[in-house]
Structures are given as C-alpha cells and as structure tokens.
Structure 1
Amino acid sequence: MTEERSRRKTGARTAPARVSAIGVIGVIGELFITAGVLVFLFLGWQLWLNDLVVGADQNRVGVALARNWDAGTPTHAHVTPAVAPDYGPPAVAEPPKNAVKFAVMYVPRFGSDYARSISEGVGTTDVLDKNGIGHYPGTQMPGAVGNFAVAAHRTTHGAPFKQLATLTVGDKIYVQTQDGYYTYDFRGLEYVRPTAVDVLDPVPRAPGATPTERVLTMTSCNPMFSAAERIIAYSVLESWQPTSAGPPPAILATVSAKG
C-alpha cells in the first residue's frame, strides 16, 4: 500500500513535467517553422520581387539618361531607308571616371522596356550592385576596334544579365552614348573558368592578336546562383549612327518612353 501511494505521488509530479516538456518542444517547433517561412519570404523578395523592382528602376534611369542625350535633336520620321546611310567611322569617346554612367544598353530579346545604363568600372559595391552594368577598364569603348567588354549580375541587384543565355545568333544589342547608337550583332556564347581573363583581350581568347573587328563582350557568373564559371556573350558591331539620326527603329519606342 505504501509503494502504491508512492507511485501515485511520483506520477502526479511527473505528468505535468511531461506536458510542460511537450509544450516547450511545440513552441520551439513553431519557431523553426516561422523562421523557415521568413527565410523563404526573404529569398523570394531578394531573388525575384526585388530584382523586378530594382530592374524596373534601372530601366527608368537608362531611359532618362538616353532622353537627356536626345534632348534638342531633330525629330525624325524614322523610316528605314532602302540603302543604309554611311556615317563614316564610329565616334569613339574617352572612358569616363570610375562609376560614371556613359552609355545605355538595349536588348530587345530581354524585353521591350530593357534599357540599362553602363558605368565605368566593375567594382561590386560601387558599380555592379548599384548601377547595373559595368565596363571593364582598359578594354575599348563602344564603336572602337577591339573589345568593348562589360559585366553585370544574373541574380540580385536588378539582374541585368539574367537572360544572357537566351540570346540567339542574329539578335541585336544596341548601345547608346552621347555620340550616337551602336548596333551589335550577337554571334555566340562561351562558358569559361573565372581565370580565363583572355576573354577581355582586344581579340577575345587570342592574346597578342591584332584586332580588326569591333567586338562587344558581355560577361556574368554561371550557373545561376554560382560563381563557378563565367558565361560570355560575343557580338560584333554591325552599324552605327549619330544621335542626330535618331534611334534605330527597333528601340524607338523604348528610347521615347518616359523616364
């Protein structure tokens, strides 16, 4: 009888303790679930919604910059002539100071509203994270013989080059500066190690070779969400026209949009 009463007393003390322990575990589990949901929501914001917001803002900045250059130029009917006018050798500007915006890139393949500014330099915090597309110092400027090389993110910070792998041969890439419009014809993609810096040579991947073409090289990390290698997109200058001639018809609506 004494032992039975002892067991009853012990059970009475143990049951609440078990209930309390289960309650604590339940609270901890709920906290982990809540934390997981918050992390998921943050990743969704950072990798999707934030890119849409920042990307749209970068497009507005690019259009505003382009409209500033076009201000005061004559209005054109923008009718494509049967024979393309000869505007002579492309105008080539001097590179600006670091982080200064000097050009706007339009890629119809990336969307009808795509208009991203290009800044001097490829620093992460002062250019790529902030302004979008950066120009490799020491490489050529738009329209010059040699290699006009640029870089941008494929994820986060507006992801200017997110769709780089969707380019197909023959796609046009337009670069606008204060001097005019440069139309580049896309030729192909290449995937290289991060150490393959020869993609920035005047003749990409051919160190020491003398350049004869005017090349645009676009670089970014690959695969998505990784820096294991680099994706490289090569284009060659097809034509150019001064600002006074107005924008090419393919980007007229984008350039004319309100910034």
Structure 2
Amino acid sequence: MPRRFGTTAITCLRVLAELLLTLGVLLGALAFYLLVWTNVQTAAAQEELLSEFRERRSDDPTRAVAPKPGDGLNVLHIPRLGKDWEWVVVEGVDTDSLNRGPGHFPASALPGAIGNYAVAGHRATHGEPFADLDQLAEGDKVYVEAADGWFTYRVTWTRITSPSAVELIAPVPGKPGTEPEVAMMTLVTCHPRWGSSERLIVGAQLIERRTLAAGAPKELD
C-alpha cells in the first residue's frame, strides 16, 4: 500500500512538472509576442504609413481624402521624447488602428483647426509610442506635420484621471457643450505604464502655423 502511494505521488509530481513547464513556455511566448513581436509589427506599419503620407503629400498636398480607420493622417514630432521621435497618427482609436500607431479620435478636430485635436496611443507594447508621455511638462512643444502645413502646440497642462473622464477630449477639454474658440490638442494614454486603471492626459494649445513651403520648425532641423 505505501509503495503504490509513492508511485502515484511521483506520477503526480511528474504531471505537475510538465504542466508548469508548459505554462512557462506559454508565458514566455506571450511575453515575446507582447514585448517584441508587437513592436516589430508596429514598426513595419509605421514605416509604410510614413512613406505613404509623404508620397501623398508631395503628389498633391491640397487633395482632400476622407481617411478610413487605420489610414495615416499626419505625423507627430515631440523633441522632449527624443530628437528623432516621430509617429504617424492614424485615423481611429479602435484596437486595430491603435496597433498601427497613435490614433486620432474621429469626432475631434484636425490639426490647426479650432477645437480639440485628440489623440490616443499605447504606452506599452505595439511600439509604445506614448511610453514616456509622463516626461512632458508645461512649455514643451509638440509639432504636427500635416498635409497642408506644420502646426506647433505648447503643452499647457497634464493630468491623471479615471478612464471615464471623457470630458477631457471634448472640443473644450473639461467643458462639454462649450463652443471652442482656439485650437487645442489632447494626448491620451494609459497610466501606469503597464496598467490601465487610470489615464494620463496631456493638453496643449496651438501657438504657430507654418506652410509647407516654409519648411519644418527650426527645432526639428
């Protein structure tokens, strides 16, 4: 009787060890997918989007094309996050669109227009474009390279809120129903970086417009 019990215990331990090994392999594969492969996929999508955006702009910058979810809309440049930091903003904030890059809230204003140009982006995985968004402070500049020119915004506030604080992407952030009088920008991402219990939101206001002929702002040279 004791001998049979010992054999059964050994068999159970072997099964448990195999299950733990399998679990470890699955977790490793999941970590590789999230931390490496999603970044590779997004980098490839961004390269294609940037090429398409600049080719389209050089062909006919005045051509108006209604963007579909996932289409490249414009390019963000944020020197505070790195000299070469640039991301193509896509249309839409659905999962597939955000996996290609930061996404423009379709109901919000376009760059340079009166109202609130609102953009959401991943802070972890899928290229993690907004990983260091918490480094932005009042006075920092955010540049938008659009089909019809360059727009410079200056950060005016940052806030950590609940995911339900959708009033901060209203035409006048924090004041739903108010008619906007100036051009603003709101950048939205998850907080903390590897969680989603809150939202980190950065607000900015338009301070300069430049034509395509005038070229990029000097800070981006």
> Counterpart in 1 of 2:83?
112
> Counterpart in 1 of 2:67?
97
Counterpart of 1:32 in structure 2: which amino acid? L
CA contact (8 A) 2:167 2:174 kept: yes
Percent identity between the aligned chains? 29
Counterpart of 1:116 in structure 2: which amino acid? W
Residue 27 of structure 1: how far off its partner (Å): 2.0
Tell me the secondary structure at the aligned position of residue 243 of structure 1. coil
CA contact (8 A) 1:51 1:155 kept: no
Residue 18 of structure 1: how far off its partner (Å): 4.6
Residue 92 of structure 1: how far off its partner (Å): 10
Q: Alpha carbon RMSD of aligned pairs, Å?
A: 2.9
Aligned mates of 1:202, 1:92 — CA distance in 2: 25
> Counterpart in 2 of 1:46?
33
CA contact (8 A) 2:46 2:101 kept: no
Residue 229 of structure 1: how far off its partner (Å): 2.5
Aligned mates of 2:33, 2:131 — CA distance in 1: 14
Q: Kindly report which structure 2 residues correspond to 1:237-248, keeping only aligned pairs within 5 A, or say none.
A: 237-248=206-217
Q: How many residues align?
A: 220
Aligned mates of 2:83, 2:56 — CA distance in 1: 20
Higher relative contact order (CA closer than 8 Å, sequence separation 6+): 1
Counterpart of 1:128 in structure 2: which amino acid? L
CA contact (8 A) 1:92 1:142 kept: no
CA contact (8 A) 1:143 1:237 kept: yes
Residues 95 and 68 of structure 1, relative CA distance in 2, 3 Å threshold: closer
CA contact (8 A) 2:149 2:209 kept: yes
Aligned mates of 2:143, 2:62 — CA distance in 1: 15
> Counterpart in 2 of 1:256?
none
Residue 25 of structure 1: how far off its partner (Å): 2.8
Aligned mates of 2:72, 2:192 — CA distance in 1: 28
Aligned mates of 2:220, 2:79 — CA distance in 1: 8
Residue 41 of structure 1: how far off its partner (Å): 1.7
CA contact (8 A) 1:221 1:229 kept: yes
Aligned mates of 2:10, 2:25 — CA distance in 1: 23
Aligned mates of 1:192, 1:216 — CA distance in 2: 17
2:151 paired residue among 182, 191, 198: 182
Residue 62 of structure 1: how far off its partner (Å): 5.0
Q: Kindly report which structure 2 residues correspond to 1:74-223, keeping only aligned pairs within 5 A, or say none.
A: 96-99=66-69, 100-125=71-96, 127-129=97-99, 131-223=100-192
CA contact (8 A) 1:46 1:156 kept: no
Residues 28 and 110 of structure 1, relative CA distance in 2, 3 Å threshold: farther
Tell me the secondary structure at the aligned position of residue 68 of structure 1. helix
Tell me the secondary structure at the aligned position of residue 17 of structure 2. helix
Aligned mates of 1:113, 1:55 — CA distance in 2: 17
CA contact (8 A) 2:67 2:73 kept: no
Residues 62 and 185 of structure 1, relative CA distance in 2, 3 Å threshold: farther
Query: Quick check: which one's strand share is greater?
Result: 2
CA contact (8 A) 2:154 2:207 kept: yes
Residue 105 of structure 1: how far off its partner (Å): 1.0
1:25 equivalenced with 2:15 (yes/no):
no
Tell me the secondary structure at the aligned position of residue 150 of structure 1. strand
After superposition, give the CA deviation of every residue in 1:194-252 in whole Å (9 maximum; x if it has no partner): 22221122211022333232111011222334333322111111212111222223334
Counterpart of 1:140 in structure 2: which amino acid? A
